[in-house]
Copies of this chain bind each other. A is one copy, B any other.
Amino acid sequence: MPDFSGFGEFRMTKQRRVVYDVLVDEPRDHPTASEVFLRAKNRMPGISLATVYNCLETLTHAGLVKQVNLDRDASRYCPNLKPHAHFFCSECEQVFDITPRPSADPCAVWELPEGTRIDHLDVTLKGKCPACARAGHP
């Protein structure tokens, strides 16, 4: 069982652990709150949707999971704490984590006025994943 000290006043309750485990265990496919709810019920039948929302918010605040927003679709959640962006395949509608090339700084490509302070970067690429791109060009 991982160590969650260092995450402030955060308390790992039974429900939060279930929600967290759902995200960490396979399939790690960036589920929405409702999808997390369905999977969580398999492990803890009495859990409520409201609690899943609460847990996801708490876990996000604690920094254990990341909220992923694509356009205005339902938020998705991901336990990958390394800095990364997302690739969305418009064909199979899957979300893939992508990482910056070593030594590349994704912020550096943008022209920003002198004195701007960057706290956070949010990147989504859209297109076709290799499998779907190949299927489309038979």
Are B125 and A111 in contact (CB-based, < 8 A)? no
**A120 contacts the other chain (Cβ, under 8 Å)?**
yes
**A134 contacts the other chain (Cβ, under 8 Å)?**
yes
| Least CB separation from A124: chain B residue | B122
A106 to chain B minimum Cβ distance, whole angstroms, is 5
**What is the oligomeric copy number?**
2
- Mark out the residues of chain A between 105 and 137 whose CB falls within 8 Å of any chain B CB in the assembled complex: 105-130, 133-134
| Interface hit among A1-9, A13-21, A51-59, A68-76 | A68-76
Are A128 and B105 in contact (CB-based, < 8 A)? no
B-side contacts of A108, CB under 8 Å: 101, 104
Q: How large is the interface on A (under 10, 10 to 19, 20 to 34, 35 or more residues)?
A: 35 or more
Most buried by B among A112, A118, A128: A112
Are B87 and A112 in contact (CB-based, < 8 A)? yes
A77 to chain B minimum Cβ distance, whole angstroms, is 13
**A34 contacts the other chain (Cβ, under 8 Å)?**
no
**A12 contacts the other chain (Cβ, under 8 Å)?**
no
**A99 contacts the other chain (Cβ, under 8 Å)?**
yes
**A98 contacts the other chain (Cβ, under 8 Å)?**
yes
B-side contacts of A123, CB under 8 Å: 110, 121-124
A40 to chain B minimum Cβ distance, whole angstroms, is 21
